Amino acid sequence: MTDKNYFSENTIDPDPFVQFKTWYGEHQLCGIENPDAVTLATASSDGHISARTVLLKEHDEKGFVFFTNYKSRKGLQLSSNPRAALLFYWPESGRQVRIEGVTEKVLDKDSESYFKTRPKESQLSAWASEQSSIIPDRQYLDKRYDIYKNLYSDKPVDKPPHWGGFRLIPDWFEFWQESQFRLHDRLTYTKRKDLWIIERLSP
């Protein structure tokens, strides 16, 4: 049960990025595994929708960044239709956050910097995995991993050109807080010109 004044138009931050930072920070403290996991929904230009989990790696007023293979299903969908949605569900606090907007590729030099921080095994996997393509069996994948392991046995692993980040630049947020009798609180932010308009939706 939430206190009536706990989450309302009076207490929510006028800036959705600040509000997100507050809730995300509180969620990070819950001690759960993969606190940065988020559902990402994309659609092809002909409206075919798909969703999957990715890890949120950065978030600030510029947007929400995750890393992936640009040739994967999501990567190809985002190339033809950059609109996407992120969905966070945090049962520990009875909260859900929905974010919608347009994606763009992260600058290659920034993807490069992040790639360098990854463990060598993950860097090799980025080469070994032709993400989302059909492969004959597990051995095929292991063999590719070994090829790249040998190739980079005595030197740093280069970032594959098809691997990098996407940044989702939001134009809509919804913050949902569970409340009693299913009378949940839903507050949305919609970007109009340079302003964020806050509105309440019926649960």
By CB under 6 A, name the binding residues for ligand FMN: 34, 37, 50, 52-55, 66-68, 72-74, 131-132
Apex CA 34: angle with CA 201 and CA 123, to 5°? 125
The least CB distance from residue 176 to ligand FMN, in Å, is: 21
The least CB distance from residue 39 to ligand FMN, in Å, is: 9
Q: How many helices (H) and strands (E) does the chain have?
A: 5, 9
The least CB distance from residue 67 to ligand FMN, in Å, is: 6
CA 172 to chain centre: 15
Residue tagged 């990402």 (tokens)? 40
Residue 68's CB is within 10 A of a number of other CB atoms, namely 22
CA distance linking residue 25 with residue 52, whole number of Å:
23
The least CB distance from residue 189 to ligand FMN, in Å, is: 25
CA distance linking residue 40 with residue 37, whole number of Å:
10
All residues at 6 or more sequence positions from 173 whose CB lies less than 8 Å from its CB, including other chains: 16, 19, 20, 97, 98, 99, 100, 188, 189
Contact between residue 185 and residue 7 where contact means Cβ atoms under 8 Å apart: yes
Question: Which of residues 68 and 179 has its CB atom nearest to ligand FMN in the complex?
Answer: 68
Has 182 been annotated as catalytic? yes
Question: Which of residues 7 and 67 has its CB atom nearest to ligand FMN in the complex?
Answer: 67
- CA dihedral (24, 72, 48, 103) positive or negative: positive
The least CB distance from residue 195 to ligand FMN, in Å, is: 32
Question: Which of residues 71 and 149 has its CB atom nearest to ligand FMN in the complex?
Answer: 71
Question: Which of residues 11 and 80 has its CB atom nearest to ligand FMN in the complex?
Answer: 80
CA distance linking residue 149 with residue 13, whole number of Å:
48
Q: Given 118, 144, 182, 186, which residue is catalytic?
A: 182
Question: Which of residues 121 and 199 has its CB atom nearest to ligand FMN in the complex?
Answer: 121
Count, residues in the chain: 203
> Which residues does the annotation mark as catalytic?
182
